[in-house]
Chain A
Amino acid sequence: MTSRKLQKTQNKAYVALAKISRELYLATSKAQEVSLIAKNARALAVRAGDKVLGFKAITDFIDDLATSTIQLARQINKQALDIAHMAAEVQRKEFGLDQFQIVMEHPEATHANSITKVHDALKRDVLERNKEQRKNLNILISNLNDIQQEIRSAGIIALNAKVESAKSPEYQASLDVIADDILHSTNQIKERIDRSQSIIKNI
């Protein structure tokens, strides 16, 4: 790949990673909402006592899942920002490489061969960094898959919560609202992660 093509790839990379960071920030906010809903649900379940034991177990699980999602999303967000920082750095070096190439081909640059060593070292550095970046992107993809898996589980469990709520007619309306809220929020998180995965595929 020529330096100019690499540069375009880097341009795309750090813009894409900034977008992913935004999606993950929004997903984290939603996960915080889920955690709050789950905590409220737990309080309601405590009041309802034995009648909603199944529902309580589910909300406990969802709260744990939301906490772990928040942590993972934050971790991935940091990774995305680190990779974006690196992409900007590589882009700067690739721009330098392009400039050196122009200088080396310039008819007036009598001493052009005096920059061959610096040019070659920079080229090696850029290739190394690109390799490392690809590796980091693969880790990011894998972490996004993990978070997506967790959110899918949360969605399924939220559906179960609706089944459980039907067993307690006295609390069904309140429990249904909670289950719907959790389902709605987990779907939104899922959308954010879907978008992140789709963005990363295009880098």
Chain B
Amino acid sequence: MQSHVLSKNNESTWYMFGRDPNKSEQIIDTNQYMVKTTNSAFLMDPGGIELFSTMFAMVLRHSPADQIQHIFASHQDPDIISSLGLWDQAVPHAKLYAPWLWESFLKHFGMDNMEYVAIADKGMTVNIDGLSLELVPAHYLHSSGNFHVYDPVHKILMSGDIGAALEEDDAPLFVEDFDSHIPKMRGFHQRWMPSNQAKNDWVERVRALDIDMMCPQHGRVFKGDDVGRFLDWFEQLQVGVTQEVA
């Protein structure tokens, strides 16, 4: 698994983990993210059970276990958080931030130790070592209880499945040519995102944020003008389409 620094200042660093060459071919490639401050770490969508040991090893490259105090699950999917039972044993002191809607479902993955912080529908702000992270509602995109993470200091939006692309596991880290990237995203968004209304609400909400980098859970990261290009493209896209579209 590769580890990349996406953004860094004196107080905090954003890491991206993914593009694991040793991952089983049968499971979808995923991007995991972490914000590390001086004394704490906030882990986002730490991934499935299959990649737990590699992911944990990569996290321990940048942070001791006792500093992993916050884990965030954008929604309930297995590629997002089926490793929960293992994180629960590895960092029992940590808090899990996840949609209130999924609390009794997520606990099926095994959660005896960690505290479940149920995110209300309107979202919340989490303070880590003075860094404020906003948990932004993204309901029905694609899950009925869904959140993204916005960091106003680094101007990064961790956008879960929004912006995801299905492509080769060794694809470049960043979108290089937006137009040629569209075919890799279109089918995924049309099929997986069920609601045009939810999509438009989200676009409006996200347009109000100052974003330099948009980081999805699959595929490449959007930066600079490509963030706006993505929002324009997504806004005009008809979603909730079930026929073959790609």
Contacts and interface: CB of A to CB of B under 8 A. Distances in A.
Interface of A: 92-93, 95-96, 99-100, 102-103, 106, 108-112, 114-115, 118, 122
A93 B112 CA distance: 12
Interface in B151-170: none
B46 to A, nearest CB: 13
B60 A115 contact: yes
A108 B58 contact: yes
A92 B77 CA distance: 20
A96 B66 contact: no
Given A99-B53, A99-B56, A122 B61 contact: no
B65 A99 contact: no
B123 interface: no
A110 B60 contact: yes
24 contacts: A92-B85, A93-B89, A100-B89, A103-B56, A106-B54, A106-B57, A106-B60, A108-B58, A108-B60, A108-B61, A109-B58, A109-B61, A111-B61, A111-B62, A111-B65, A112-B57, A112-B60, A114-B66, A115-B60, A115-B65, A118-B65, A118-B90, A118-B91, A122-B89
Contact of B65 (A92, A114, A122): A114
Contacts of B85: 92, 96
Contacts of A112: 57, 60
B60 A103 contact: yes
A111 B63 contact: yes
Contacts of A99: 52-53, 56, 86
Contacts, number: 58
B64 interface: yes
Interface in B38-87: 52-54, 56-58, 60-66, 85-86
Contacts of B110: 92
Nearest to B66: A114
Contact of A110 (B61, B86, B91, B92): B61
Interface string B85-124: 1100111100000000000000000100000000000000
- 9 nearest interchain CB pairs? A106-B57, A114-B64, A109-B57, A109-B60, A102-B53, A111-B64, A114-B65, A111-B60, A96-B89
Nearest to A96: B89
A173 B62 CA distance: 85
Nearest to A113: B64
B53 A106 contact: yes
A99 B54 CA distance: 9
A92 B64 CA distance: 24
B50 to A, nearest CB: 11
Contacts of A108: 3, 57-58, 60-61
Contacts of B64: 111, 114
Interface string B208-240: 000000000000000000000000000000000
A100 B53 CA distance: 7
Nearest to B83: A99
Contacts of B86: 95-96, 99
Contacts of B65: 111, 114-115, 118
Contact of A103 (B53, B62, B92): B53
A112 B59 CA distance: 10
B53 A118 contact: no
A166 to B, nearest CB: 62
Nearest to B92: A118
A164 B64 CA distance: 80
B217 to A, nearest CB: 22
Nearest to B89: A96
A102 B53 CA distance: 6
B103 to A, nearest CB: 20
A108 B57 CA distance: 6
A108 B86 CA distance: 19
Contacts of B53: 99, 102-103, 106
A44 B227 CA distance: 87
A92 B89 CA distance: 10
Given A92-B110, A118-B65, A103 B57 contact: yes
